[in-house]
A and B are shown apart, each in its own frame.
Chain A
């Protein structure tokens, strides 16, 4: 069956909404998240409200759904329109919450997405103290991917005073965002 791009994406979204099968939901979400890598799809994805779908999935119990949705957001959030949409929809908060996931891919996608979403207006949120403190701990991780990304976050998106403040904070409190497990 030959389908146009929009129709195909629509079919995916419909299947996602209609199906009872968790497996099918995961497959479809992963498929959409991969489509989100290519800018030529962004107009369609916005039309089909896939950005909202991704944001909604961030609070699901199913770890795979969160992972795929976070990956999808990471893939498409650099586009200016998508970025504004996500920020307007208060997307930063659930993404920050993903930093405490035990799923490595979810965390890594969240770190990158926060970087990509940082603008003059949003940076108060994306580089808030608990986030910077979290990144400090990530930067010391044995997980190279995570430590690299966290280092870039600290070096390129935070000011030295911000980093210093977070460093002082972690000396005095035990509370923080836990590192992802294996």
Chain B
């Protein structure tokens, strides 16, 4: 028989947590101890295996935690997988490989309800078609990433000419069998995410990310995930119809952990985020909030009728200034204790005058 008993649900060699390497030379030592391991597209997967989950009936919390990193397609306990006493093993399938990558990176070795999680990829759960698509996505990604540099250089020259020659070389095996890859091949010149920004020594196998890259990685999540599937990019990440009953719960709890998953956030949360950023950054209050703090406002604040007339212009001015200051302080305090659930329940937008 070949390899390990690599059927789904059985322990595989690539699930084993390797010991961290102790003997690295200083210049290539990262922030976190890492094992010596190479990550290829074969090892990475939308499927993640999570070991070390305390057997406390915390599946819901576990899934919610992982859902912060992207839409989850499936999840269930793996009852037959060998587990340490008092722990359980779960399988979580992300909709996007990119999200699985980030979730793994962030959640591996994290404490969860008092227990250390061990998160690894579980590609043996993939169907043939899923593996095929994974490889195709990788192909597309490289094509776009490397073509992009050509784009900048060759903007004067016609793009299609180079594309055509690339097509015959790289995609000919496909053309005899079907043109579905070739048709996806039109290389748009991505202006939104310049190739230069992909200066990430990634995946996280034994990368010295601290030296070169980590600040960029999170921001690139959204952009590089666009490479994988441009169409899915634009649709909301959670489709209640296709999900388990806890999907709505996930939708509410999808507070962004970082900028990278902006585009996967449900619309209400996105608006909420924008509003919060606006409020925090805006001292000069061209855009303000109304008293109940749930409105999205656009445009400059209309002059209010003074609440108290002191019969003296200067006194009124002072009173107004004080009132405004009090309101400003009150706004900033109430914004910080605002809960996402309650805000999304209220209707938004009593719009102010637009410019």
Contact = CB atoms under 8 A, between A and B. Distances in A.
A27 B206 contact: yes
B205 interface: yes
Contacts of B4: 104, 143, 182
B7 interface: yes
B199 A123 contact: no
B40 A151 contact: no
Contact of B3 (A8, A30, A143): A143
Given A8-B212, A33-B38, A34-B207, A148 B199 contact: no
Contacts of B123: 144-145
Given A8-B211, A109-B42, A30 B200 contact: no
Nearest to B6: A143
Contacts of B143: 78
A31 B177 contact: no
A115 B131 CA distance: 13
A24 interface: yes
B128 interface: yes
Interface of A is mostly: helix
Contacts of A37: 39-40, 202-203
A78 B206 contact: no
Find the residue from B25, B41, B168, B173 having the highest chain A CB count within 10 A.
B173
B173 A109 contact: no
A112 B198 contact: no
Interface in B189-225: 195-196, 198-203, 205-208, 211-212
Interface residues of B, number: 62
Interface string A86-121: 000000000000000000110111001001101110
Contacts of B23: 23-24, 27
A146 B2 contact: yes
A74 B3 contact: no
B36 A30 contact: yes
Contact of B42 (A2, A33, A137, A149): A149
A148 B146 contact: no
Given A143-B2, A145-B6, A11 B201 contact: no
Find the residue from B4, B125, B166, B196 having the highest chain A CB count within 10 A.
B4
A3 B27 CA distance: 9
Given A79-B146, A180-B3, A34 B36 contact: no
A34 B36 CA distance: 10
B95 interface: no
A142 B6 contact: yes
Contacts of B166: 80
B124 interface: yes
A78 B142 contact: yes
Contact of A31 (B3, B28, B126, B199): B28
Given A27-B24, A80-B166, A156 B195 contact: no
Contacts of A141: 1-3, 6
B136 to A, nearest CB: 10
A79 to B, nearest CB: 5
Given A8-B211, A34-B203, A120 B169 contact: yes
Interface of A: 1-3, 5, 8, 11-12, 15, 23-24, 26-28, 30-31, 33-35, 37-42, 67-68, 71-72, 74-75, 78-81, 83, 104-105, 107-109, 112, 115-116, 118-120, 123, 137-138, 141-146, 148-149, 151-152, 156-157, 159, 179-182
**Which 8 pairs across A and B sit closest by C-beta, in order of nearness?**
A179-B2, A143-B3, A143-B6, A71-B38, A141-B2, A78-B142, A39-B145, A144-B124
30 contacts: A15-B28, A27-B28, A27-B206, A30-B36, A34-B39, A34-B205, A34-B206, A39-B146, A39-B195, A74-B40, A80-B166, A104-B3, A104-B4, A104-B14, A105-B42, A109-B42, A120-B172, A142-B1, A142-B7, A143-B3, A143-B6, A144-B123, A145-B42, A145-B123, A145-B131, A148-B131, A149-B42, A152-B131, A156-B173, A182-B4
